Amino acid sequence: MRYGIVACLVMVVGVGAVPARAAPERDAVEMGLVERALAVAGWTRADLGWRARGTWDRYPQDVPYQLRHVDDVFAEPWSAVPWVRAMGAEARELLSAKGIDGKGGQGQGALFRLVHDLGVHRRYGAMRAYAANLTAKPTALDAALRASFAAAGRATSFTTFGKPADWPRTDEDLAKATAGLPAEVGAVLGKLVLDLEDAWAWAERAWRNVPLEARVAVHGRLDLGIEETDALAYEPAMDDVARAWDEASLWYAGLKVVEALDVARGALAQPVAGAREALRSLRVDVETPRGRVVVMGTGDDVLDVGTEGAFLVVDLGGNDRYVGSVAASGPTRLVSAMLEMGGDDRYEAKDRAMGAGSVGVGVLLDAGGADAYALKGTLGLGAGMFGLGVLADLGGDDAYFGAYSAQGCGFFGVGMLLDAAGKDAYTLWSDGQGFGGVAGVGVLADGGGDDRYEAVVDAKVTGRGSYHTGGTVSVSNAQGCGMGRRGDGADGHSWGGGFGCLLDVAGDDRYEAANWAQGCGYWFGTGLVWDGAGNDEFRANGWAGGSGAHFCIGVLVDDAGDDLHRVAQNWGLGYGHDFTVGIHVDGGGNDRYEAGEAGIGWSINRSVGLLVDVAGDDRYAFGKAGLVPGTAVFDARLLDRSGASALYWTESRSVGLFVDGGGTDVYPSGAADGDAVTDAPASDNARARNLGIRLDLR
């Protein structure tokens, strides 16, 4: 039974349409709507959320690797909305043309700031985005390479039997290999090598207490994506490395690599433009103790680095093809970097490529062009596992394909895909497009354009069938999703989920996924989506649209446009299950919301499920008759204090809240424009502090 108190609400808070507001006022307006809805039940904002107590037996406690924001969002759920908007504002500023080529107050570049603020800072808060402190001076490339040999403890000239050795003559070979470089170009590249050598030294410090065999064991676990949720196969090396590595040194190394590539990009633009024809056939390809260093000219080139990869690849222009593990680190290649100065390029590899930071730093910076990236296996296109992996593409209509753990994905590390502009297509099988696996951070940020995000639905293609749907659709783990390792039903090694975030600044975008996607969390994981503008379509099968299960956070915020929000099966659109914060906010436009069954501001098992639509003529529909927005499902255990889990089930509060701020709306039977209803004060739900609330302000 629901209890209508329209008259009381009018007297207390007033009813009326909410006008469009300037951006600085947006959060206050929306929070005001939530507070007005809570007032229907006599609640305030302070009644939302929970803080776990040590006396709550069976509530999971002492879960390692939980990120620092989680408990605060549990206690103050709405704080996640302005938080993700702040990240979106930074993406809007820094991925713009002006932002990319600008500098901050300390002289740092936009990519440095984005990687720090949206990536590193999410995992490790003791650093701030001041500077990477690059100190190398412009240096001839052969001299810089000799310095790199020396830093690795390797000589470049040899004397034996009292005379110079006949072979090798490394000094001469390096001079000969780099002789075709114009001095100005060579000086920029030399500085880049020295800056990367500085980063390498910091990466070495990061692993000084970690045996090589432990790093190799971690590096070999390409299947961590299937390790999420139900704790299938415990790898002790993960815990061993997590206890012993020096994170600060690794992140410092990674930020140095990002800034070094960006500085080189800017410094090379003018000298390359002035000597484009002379540089067409340039090719430098040398082996160093750190790996191959390859410099290619402005022509159309082909480079295959195999699975071994390279320390540094620089291409000065042209339409090029790259094969193998470019910009990918590993246990013995702590830093791997690539700078592509422009052109319509093709990248293809199987595993660990194109911005893969596995126990190290892998960064790929492509300055522009219509590019195609194809990762046929696992871990790349901006993926980090105990490392930093970044792919930054600064322009063009690009196509990204990654099978698994790709396009902004992190496990015990940071993975980021940053695309500044263009009409882009992102295709994934599972675990990416802003996916935070255990203790990881995964971010995909797109600066604008009409984009398509696809996490392939058909489980026959992906091989990742979801048991929630009989194995017919995929476990997507994508498009702003955070997942943990739930070990409470297995070996007890429960690991807190990570931070997965998808930020799209503008454009008419299409999002498609199966289960676990589009602002979704699981087991202390956090999944966030922010779309700044455009007429968008969000389509998913289940567990999506600001949703989650088991002690987690899922938030989707769409700030403008006439949008479609569709979760075909269940568990979506502001939905929380089992101590979940599930929030869905739409800032305006004439929108459609479609839920198969439970959803549209629903809560079950002590969660906070909120759906807030600020304004517009909207339509709400369920695939099953008899369902209405703003529902908190009753369970007798919420009133039973006799069981082992009595305290955490009975002492907390929960709410399924729906509020529409204005417009002429269409509802399913049982709901209507002008509703202000909640559970009757004498009902079991009200006694259990488990309230469904629905408010429509005409």
Number of domains in the chain: 2
Residue closest to 588 by CA, chosen among 550, 612, 608, 561: 561
DSSP H helical segments within 152-223, as ranges?
170-177, 183-206, 212-219
d(CA 520, CA 498): 11
Report if residue 109 sits inside a domain.
no
User: What does the pLDDT look like over 338-390, one tens digit per residue?
Assistant: 999 999 999 999 999 999 999 999 999 999 999 999 999 999 999 999 999 99
Report if residue 585 sits inside a domain.
yes
User: Does residue 7 surpass a pLDDT of 50?
Assistant: no
Amino acid at 271: P
Classify residue 636 by burial, with Cβ atoms within 10 Å: 0-12, 13-18, 19+.
exposed
d(CA 330, CA 136): 25
Report if residue 61 sits inside a domain.
no
235 Cβ neighbours under 8 A, 6+ residues apart: 217, 218, 221, 227
More confident residue, 102 or 379: 379
User: Does residue 69 surpass a pLDDT of 50?
Assistant: yes
Question: Are the beta carbons of 504 and 530 closer than 8 angstroms?
Answer: yes
Residue 584 three-state SS: strand
Report if residue 240 sits inside a domain.
no
Residue 564 three-state SS: strand
Shared domain for 308 and 372, answered yes or no, is yes
Shared domain for 394 and 442, answered yes or no, is no
What integer pLDDT is reported at residue 4 of this predicted model?
52
Confidence of residue 616 (pLDDT cuts 50, 70, 90): very high
How large is the average pLDDT for residues 419-433?
98
User: Does residue 8 surpass a pLDDT of 60?
Assistant: no
Shared domain for 214 and 291, answered yes or no, is yes
Classify residue 213 by burial, with Cβ atoms within 10 Å: 0-12, 13-18, 19+.
exposed
Confidence of residue 18 (pLDDT cuts 50, 70, 90): very low
**C-alpha dihedral over 456, 357, 557, 42, to 10 degrees?**
110
Question: Are the beta carbons of 455 and 514 closer than 8 angstroms?
Answer: yes
Amino acid at 60: P
Query: Cis peptide before 629, with omega less than 30 degrees from 0?
Result: no
Shared domain for 190 and 259, answered yes or no, is yes
User: Does residue 520 surpass a pLDDT of 80?
Assistant: yes
User: What does the pLDDT look like over 27-51, one tens digit per residue?
Assistant: 889 999 999 999 999 999 999 999 9
User: Does residue 9 surpass a pLDDT of 50?
Assistant: no
Task: Measure Cα distances from 331 to 211, 292, 505, 689 in Å.
Answer: 10, 16, 36, 53
Shared domain for 697 and 552, answered yes or no, is yes
- Within 10 angstroms of residue 185's Cβ, the number of other Cβ atoms is 24
Report if residue 311 sits inside a domain.
yes
User: What does the pLDDT look like over 111-164, one tens digit per residue?
Assistant: 999 999 999 999 999 999 999 999 999 999 999 999 999 999 999 998 889 998
What integer pLDDT is reported at residue 166 of this predicted model?
86
- For 511, the domain range is 1-53+69-94+423-698
Amino acid at 590: N
Shared domain for 276 and 173, answered yes or no, is yes
Shared domain for 434 and 548, answered yes or no, is yes
Question: By 3-state DSSP, what share of the chain in percent is helix, strand and coil, each rounded to 5?
Answer: 25, 30, 40
Task: Measure Cα distances from 205 to 230, 252, 289 in Å.
Answer: 34, 10, 18
Confidence of residue 10 (pLDDT cuts 50, 70, 90): very low
Per residue, the 3-state secondary structure of 521-543, as one string, reads: EECCCEEEEEECCCCCEEEEEEE
User: Does residue 2 surpass a pLDDT of 90?
Assistant: no
Report if residue 129 sits inside a domain.
no
Owner of token pair 């739900």? 685
Confidence of residue 227 (pLDDT cuts 50, 70, 90): confident
User: What does the pLDDT look like over 166-203, one tens digit per residue?
Assistant: 889 999 999 999 999 999 999 999 999 999 999 999 99
What integer pLDDT is reported at residue 529 of this predicted model?
98
DSSP H helical segments within 220-371, as ranges?
224-227, 236-244, 247-274
On average, the pLDDT of the chain sits at 94
Shared domain for 632 and 491, answered yes or no, is yes
Shared domain for 195 and 326, answered yes or no, is yes
CB neighbour burial string for 271-289, b if at least 16 within 10 angstroms, e if fewer = bbeebeeebeebebebebe
What integer pLDDT is reported at residue 22 of this predicted model?
52
Give the Cα-Cα-Cα angle 397, 450, 394 (nearest 5 degrees). Answer: 40
d(CA 597, CA 558): 22
d(CA 269, CA 90): 26
User: Does residue 106 surpass a pLDDT of 90?
Assistant: no
Shared domain for 159 and 199, answered yes or no, is yes
User: Of 402, 432, 450, which closes a domain?
Assistant: 402
More confident residue, 167 or 681: 681
User: Of 347, 373, 402, which closes a domain?
Assistant: 402
What integer pLDDT is reported at residue 112 of this predicted model?
97
Shared domain for 457 and 572, answered yes or no, is yes
User: Does residue 583 surpass a pLDDT of 50?
Assistant: yes
How large is the average pLDDT for residues 60-83?
96
d(CA 368, CA 397): 9
Q: Two tokens at 483? A: 């997942």
User: Of 369, 402, 435, which closes a domain?
Assistant: 402
180 pairs with which residues across the strands? none
Question: Are the beta carbons of 692 and 678 closer than 8 angstroms?
Answer: yes
Question: Are the beta carbons of 108 and 130 closer than 8 angstroms?
Answer: yes
- The distance from CA 543 to its chain's CA centroid, rounded to whole angstroms, is 17
* Residue 88 DSSP label: H
Confidence of residue 15 (pLDDT cuts 50, 70, 90): very low
Report if residue 242 sits inside a domain.
no
Report if residue 131 sits inside a domain.
no
User: What does the pLDDT look like over 245-301, one tens digit per residue?
Assistant: 999 999 999 999 999 999 999 999 999 999 999 999 999 999 999 999 999 999 999
| For the chain, percent of residues with pLDDT exceeding 90 | 90
Shared domain for 431 and 386, answered yes or no, is no
d(CA 418, CA 528): 16
**C-alpha dihedral over 657, 662, 664, 670, to 10 degrees?**
20
| For the chain, percent of residues with pLDDT exceeding 70 | 96
d(CA 493, CA 280): 55
User: Does residue 446 surpass a pLDDT of 90?
Assistant: yes
What integer pLDDT is reported at residue 5 of this predicted model?
41
252 pairs with which residues across the strands? none
User: What does the pLDDT look like over 51-64, one tens digit per residue?
Assistant: 999 999 899 999 99
User: What does the pLDDT look like over 521-570, one tens digit per residue?
Assistant: 999 999 999 999 999 999 999 999 999 999 999 999 999 999 999 999 99
Give the pTM. Answer: 0.96
d(CA 440, CA 411): 4
User: What does the pLDDT look like over 644-668, one tens digit per residue?
Assistant: 768 899 999 999 999 999 999 999 9
User: Does residue 3 surpass a pLDDT of 90?
Assistant: no
270 Cβ neighbours under 8 A, 6+ residues apart: none
